[in-house]
Structure 1
Amino acid sequence: MDNQKPSSGGTFKKFIIALVAIVILALGITGVVYYLRWFGPNVTDKQEYLYIHSEAGFNDVYQTIREQGIVKDTTTFLWAAHNMNYVGRVKPGKYRLKEGMSNRKLINMLASGAQEPVDLKFRGLRLKTQFAGYISKQIEPDSVAIISLLDSAKFVEQYGFTTENVYTMFMPNTYQMYWNTTSEQFFKRMYKEYENFWTPARKQLAAAINLTPIQVSILASVVDAEALHDDEMPTIAGLYLNRLKRGIKMEADPTVIFATGDFTIKRVLNKYLSTPSPYNTYRNTGLPPGPIMMPSVNAVKAVLNYKQHNYIYMCAKEDFSGYHNFATNVAEHMANAHRFQQALNERGIKK
């Protein structure tokens, strides 16, 4: 038998088939690579948020992403960022990360500035420095930037405050704002909330007791420091208003503690009462020049809606319930004070 050689036509056909298969495979691989670069999961679970500072450029963002392990493949992220023109569209903010986000979804979020708002809560902070430190942990400005404005007479004057009473502008609540809010924007927002609180009706209530809104808040800070229970606030507010109307010194122990700066004091002894300070209401008549703490909204309302009575003295109850014994005369007050001092001695509380 003669050996038959394969026809040249058959060989060419096999070549074409093989070539097509290779092209399809190559296209398939290219498609997979393309898909993974754009749509494949790339964000890790190592960070909950990506913070981009106001002065940051793309290189800063990229460095943060690499250092914090935010994406699994930084090369594909970099490729996608350039192809989506994100390099020139960096926007500051606090961005929530979700594990498995693709490069495309991540970059779209960052480039559009779709950051997550911050729920900023504050209340009961005693000092401006504490307040500045707390706020700086919630939004971008540091505590130095915030305290510098609180202590700037020129800056706070534009809002009608002094550096001593500006703390009354901040009404404790929960406020939603963006992380990259500047310190100036923060103050502007807080003043807007302050104005919203001080409605014409509330201003009228303040005027009825011959106090300005600022003075109401200063008095409220003393009431808040005295009252452990909110239901007693209107009675305490009425007592201090009685003393102010009669020109009697307030003689509020919390103002003495504030004047000393020693907030570990549990028993206000006679030696503390002579502390030289405009905040010491045992030495000075009238309200202190500023609040001794950030008053709660309930304390402010308690001053505006104070309870009318004839009390001018108060002393903590000897049962340590947090409530007070009230009196209209010195003799009654001295008896109340004696019982409380005896209870302190029995518990070994000396200072």
Structure 2
Amino acid sequence: MVKAGRCTYIGDGMKKIGFLSFGHWTPSPQSQTRSAGDALLQSIDLAVAAEELGADGAYFRVHHFARQLASPFPLLAAVGAKTSHIEIGTAVIDMRYENPLYMAEDAGAADLIAGGRLQLGISRGSPEQVIDGWRYFGYQPAEGQSDADMGRRHTEVLLDVLRGVGFAQPNPRPMFANPPGLLRLEPHAEGLRERIWWGASSNATAVWAAKLGMNLQSSTLKDDETGEPFHVQQAAQIRAFRAAWAEAGHAREPRVSVSRSIFALIDDRDRLYFGRGEQEEDQLGFIDAKTRAIFGRSYAGEPDALIEQLKGDEAIAEADTLLLTVPNQLGVAYNAHAIEAILTHVAPALGWR
């Protein structure tokens, strides 16, 4: 890995490695994260700890109406203010719930606070805690369109305004003097448009994202389109994305991330929490009444055995960024330990670092 300033260039096999937290909280005495305040403040602390350990990214999931992280931009801004070089992102924000213009302002502010480190993962979302939750936020699909169509339309508007091109007619008698021409949204964060990622569950939406010039986030579940193992299907999705990107003729190289639950069993705590061999196989299920999904397995083992297992994961091999899902209710100290174990005992042997 070669570093120039704050930029890290990834060569063959080298990977950026970050964490992904859902920010679960529960008032249970067994939880280290018992309130929404705990989840937010511990997320900041974990990002600081991960940066000190040499991790490349701190990413957060967004779920509404749930005891998890929800409104992302105050958290992203706080993490940006407390850190100096780690990437800060989401995986993902459900665009069915978003006002894309207001979102562009919030994202621009968070990115400026972070010094251009925001990596914004968005998607049309998945089934949520309540029925049609986006309706409570004031949104509904246009006539003849689905909620997924609405999410993609919100995305297209966001991408357009993030270009920083003026589109709004100025008031001839403004309170403050305007620059000449049509006005854009402020604050504008230069380069943020190229740091938008799409969380794709199908091959078709991965291709759609590539055509629009978004990076790809492929999660621990996807539509079961061929019946093959999860990592094989996910690798095929990534290759389809890259082919569509090349065909679209974009000037820059895209980025691709995958998320995995990976735990190196280093001490007795690790063996207690993850040494039982659960979820070592892919799982099948339905994310709505019609869509059959395949959920990727978890990895846990002694470092040597874990390294051998991970060598066979085709999708990790295809991606340039790996997000380690963390059990945030086990507390900041344990999660920092779990991240350090992968960075120290696993990643070098696989050529990721």
TM-score, normalised by the number of residues in structure 1: 0.20
Q: Which has the larger radius of gyration?
A: 1
Q: Which has the higher contact order (CA 8 A, sep 6+)?
A: 2
Query: Per residue, is there more helix in 1 or in 2?
Result: 1
TM-score, normalised by the number of residues in structure 2: 0.20
Query: Per residue, is there more strand in 1 or in 2?
Result: 2
